Structure 1
Amino acid sequence: MTPHDGDLAGLLDRVARRDVAALRALYDRTAPKLFGIILRIQRDRSLAEDVLQDVYLKLWQSAGSYAPSAGAPLPWLCTIARNRAIDGLRRRSEVPMPSGDSGEAWMERLVAPTDEEGAFLDREALVACLSRLDPTQRDCVVLAYCEGWSREELAERFERPVNTVKTWLHRTLAALKSCLEHIA
């Protein structure tokens, strides 16, 4: 665990004990990152701001459920933000539309880490590993984890059964993990 992760874990612990100052500090340190994730999925600034507020309400209510043994705090927070953003789309019965880009534009949709988040995600290594993937499976992973598409939406887009899409995602994530471990 990096010092940054330790700081965030400490803040989450304090938030679990209803420390408002800790929630404010956690917000200041993580809101830009979480807002970026939410905005990419929601594609509407006003709606993304509402979802971000919902994320921090959820954190206030469930900060005690964070277990440091399960992993670093920032990915946990990002998962909550991503899931809330997708839930927001589903409540509005909207489906994000393909961006229509081609070529290597998928690289631009990856979240670029700040200096503090360098340990969380090495963007260059991720881009290198993604570029080694089969284009269809790479697109499937990018749409699922950067654009927030559901497995059903991906199945429709790629004209494959949902279970095939799930298998692609599982295998592709395993390949990415292996690639990133070899690069690191």
Structure 2
Amino acid sequence: MSSTAPQADPAQLRAWLQAAARRDGSAFHALYEASSPRLYGLALRILGRRELAEEVLQESFVAIWHHASEYESALSAPMTWMTTIVRNRAFDVLRRTRHEGEDDAFDSRAMESLPDLSATPADLLQMSSEAKALADCMGALEEKHRQVVGMAFFHDLSHSDVAEKLTLPLGTVKTWIRRSLARLHSCLSERGAA
């Protein structure tokens, strides 16, 4: 991971994500090239093991490819959205590899690893304020709506998978997600975070 690599412009990342949603392989490759060093660094800081970080990065980019059409630019910056995917997958790996009795120390180490050391202070402040605004707006949703949005976007489950896990009709899950996204967009707009 080179510290001299230029930071990708959020507008360019957004354009590549939108093109990837249309299944443009070259745009997805460009997105990968521009963002993978930073995302790999995050996974490595959380997991502490190269092979696990590489696995998480690969799984995350598969998820990014499959869910690019679900990216909502009004809810988060492209790097924030992709960072959330990598972070969640890394935490899933941590949970799988966690030993009994190490929970508190392990969680503390994981939480300490969250800041992206390659981010500028302005990037960190923006990510922090966006995350707080999103958390506050998520907290305002009804519990069942918060649950389906969390499963779909923070755990990268398809709408069908969410419906199956919650034993709900697929149409209900889609409606709840659509309404919740509209509420989140409105809430974030009011806070100036959109």
TM tier, shorter chain? 0.5 to 0.7
2:19 equivalent to 1:31: no
**Equivalent residue in structure 2 for 1:86, among 84, 91, 94:** 91
Identical columns (%)? 36
* Partner Cα distance (2:34, 2:19) in 1: 15
Q: Say if 1:97 and 1:33 are closer, same or farther in 2 by CA, change over 3 A.
A: farther
2:82 equivalent to 1:77: yes
1:64 corresponding residue in structure 2: 69
* Partner Cα distance (1:36, 1:14) in 2: 25
What letter is aligned with 1:80? I
What letter is aligned with 2:70? S
For each residue in 1:67-105, what CA deviation from the matched residue of structure 2 results, as whole angstroms up to 9, or x when unmatched? 111121111111111001011122234467849xxxxxx
RMSD of the alignment, in Å?
2.9
SS in 2 for 1:113: coil
What letter is aligned with 2:33? D
For each residue in 1:90-138, what CA deviation from the matched residue of structure 2 results, as whole angstroms up to 9, or x when unmatched? 2234467849xxxxxx7x9843335xx6752369xx8xxxxxxxxxxxx
* Partner Cα distance (1:78, 1:86) in 2: 12
1:120 corresponding residue in structure 2: 123
- Segments of 5+ residues of structure 2 without an aligned counterpart are 1-7, 107-111, 129-194
Count residues in correspondence.
Answer: 114
2:54 equivalent to 1:49: yes
What letter is aligned with 2:124? L
Q: Say if 1:119 and 1:18 are closer, same or farther in 2 by CA, change over 3 A.
A: farther
TM-score, L = length of structure 2? 0.51
Q: Say if 1:35 and 1:68 are closer, same or farther in 2 by CA, change over 3 A.
A: same
Q: How does 1:151-162 map to 2 (within 5 A)?
A: none
1:10 corresponding residue in structure 2: 15
Q: Say if 1:11 and 1:119 are closer, same or farther in 2 by CA, change over 3 A.
A: farther
* Partner Cα distance (1:73, 1:96) in 2: 31
Instruction: Work out whether residues 113 and 121 of structure 1, in 8 Å CA contact, stay in contact via their aligned partners in 2.
Output: no
SS in 2 for 1:71: coil
Instruction: Work out whether residues 46 and 114 of structure 2, in 8 Å CA contact, stay in contact via their aligned partners in 1.
Output: no
Q: Say if 1:61 and 1:35 are closer, same or farther in 2 by CA, change over 3 A.
A: same
* Partner Cα distance (1:61, 1:109) in 2: 25
* Partner Cα distance (2:103, 2:39) in 1: 18
SS in 1 for 2:9: helix
Q: Say if 1:42 and 1:112 are closer, same or farther in 2 by CA, change over 3 A.
A: closer
TM-score, L = length of structure 1? 0.53
- Segments of 5+ residues of structure 1 without an aligned counterpart are 100-105, 127-184
For each residue in 1:152-179, what CA deviation from the matched residue of structure 2 results, as whole angstroms up to 9, or x when unmatched? xxxxxxxxxxxxxxxxxxxxxxxxxxxx
